[in-house]
Amino acid sequence: MTKTAEGTEIGVKSKKKVVILGSGFGGVNTYLNLHKLTHKDRLVEFTIVSDKNYFLFTPLIHEVATGTLVPEDVISPVRGNIDCCVTDFILDTVKCVDFKKNKVYLLNSEIEYDYLVIATGASVNFRNTPGAKEFTLPLKTLEDAILIKNKIIGLFEEREESKNKKQIKIAIVGGGPTGIEIATEISEFTDTLIPNYSIFKDKKSDIDIKILNASDNFLPNFSLRLKKEVFNLFRFGKSPISLILNARAKEVMKDRIILEKLDEESSSKERSVDFDIAIWAAGVSPNIPGGDFELTKSGRILIGHNLNIKGIENVFAIGDVADTDDNSLPQLAQTAVDESETCARNIYNSIIKKPAVPFVLRQKGLILSLGHNNAAISIGKNIFMGKMAWFLWRYFYLSQMFGKGSKTKILLNWILNEFSPRDISKI
């Protein structure tokens, strides 16, 4: 008999093999939480599988796309940060899961597990929109952020070279937090770019940024008051951003987005928006490995309230990839982080033969950055905007960053940025 750190006597004969798929918010935090519970008694050995050998801090990638942070600031290597009780980190792609054999099949090998955590996140969803994949730039990966930065700077260079003074048009499809945040950052990025190019003079006339939202419900999950504030900021503020509601992208061409209006009356009228650069920020679809999964209506892996796959006690799915049948789990980093605590607790409880605990979503509030020195925080019915909210936004995200030295790197860069302009090199 072994006594656990919590005083429970257990008859664990051998270490349990926990396999975690994904090195994002859900994956790394499940490791950290379960490791805390099991390290002393060495109850578990972990294998982490991911198609990237780093953790990506998505909430800050728009700052990479607009020259405030460098790519290395928003990633943390898995190796070196996750090493205790880990038998293996495997850089590979998950193909499918066989629940009957307790096996995961990867592109290059296969592994067995006692407990499995699926935290493979989500990828960009172009919603079957013709031309979207070919002609728009998504913002989901680090490579996407670098490409957006290069495209913007490349466009300025081309215009300078050809002395073409035509207004620069940027269209952003999706009026959720990602669309709004990247729009405000690009607007400020152009403040740094314009003085460095002789043909551009004035942001208001040289730059046009349009955010297209399919319905009138932009910033879903945010309070009505906050939506109004953001809407008015774009409408009456000095930025070149306009937010167009009920503007669903029907088709994307090389330099034009064809829109379809949602209103019954106007659905026959087609409108279009011309662009030089178009960014796709209109949702994600889950990365579900092959296997016998039951799915929710929205196509995510169906899980029970203990976060395990229904009827399969030793397989858990968390983060963007999974949802309960009441569709109550928002695809947010904070959801994945909270779920990782319950998931770790339930694996531990199963090992020490204690009952599972249900997951309770704690809505802490929502945060939105609105460029340098401005952010909006929505907690219940209250909203906070301005510089203080911006500081809190930065403090909150800094505290969430994972990996040794990563917080310091970001903090130092943010401090340096107060005294130096954004980076405008095309890399």
**Amino acid identity for residue 300 in this structure:** R
Place of tokens 């090992």: 351
Residue 222 beta carbon to ligand FAD: minimum distance, rounded to whole angstroms: 12
Residues in the chain: 427
Q: Decide whether 76 or 178 has the Cβ nearer to ligand FAD.
A: 178
**CA 311 – CA 36 distance, rounded (Å):** 27
C-beta of 19 vs 352, nearer to ligand FAD: 19
Q: How far is the CB of 95 from ligand FAD (least distance, A)?
A: 7
Judged by CB, which is closer to ligand FAD: 200, or 359?
359
Residue 416's CB: how many other CB atoms inside 10 A? 10
The residue sitting closest to ligand FAD, measured at its beta carbon, is 24
* Of 179, 406, 197, residue with least CA distance to 282: 179
* Residue linked to tokens 């072994």: 2
Q: What distance in Å separates the CA atoms of residue 40 and residue 84, rounded to the nearest whole number?
A: 11
Alpha-carbon gap, residue 385 to 392, rounded angstroms: 10
Q: How far is the CB of 402 from ligand FAD (least distance, A)?
A: 10
Q: How far apart are the first and last CA of the chain?
A: 59
Nearer to ligand FAD, 119 or 309 (CB): 119
Concatenating the DSSP letter of every residue in 176-210 gives: SHHHHHHHHHHHHHHHHHGGGSTT---HHHHEEEE
Residue ranges in contact with ligand FAD by CB under 6 A: 21-27, 49-52, 58-59, 61, 93-94, 119-121, 139-140, 178, 287, 319-321, 331-334, 336
Q: Which of 335, 323, 357 is nearest to 26 (CA)?
A: 335
Tokens representing residue 45 in the block: 């050995």
**Parallel/antiparallel/unpaired status of strands 137-138 and 277-280:** parallel
Nearest approach, Cβ of 339 to ligand FAD (angstroms)? 9
For ligand FAD, give the closer residue by CB, 43 or 152.
Answer: 152
Given the complex with ligand FAD, which of 55 and 200 has the nearer CB atom? Answer: 55
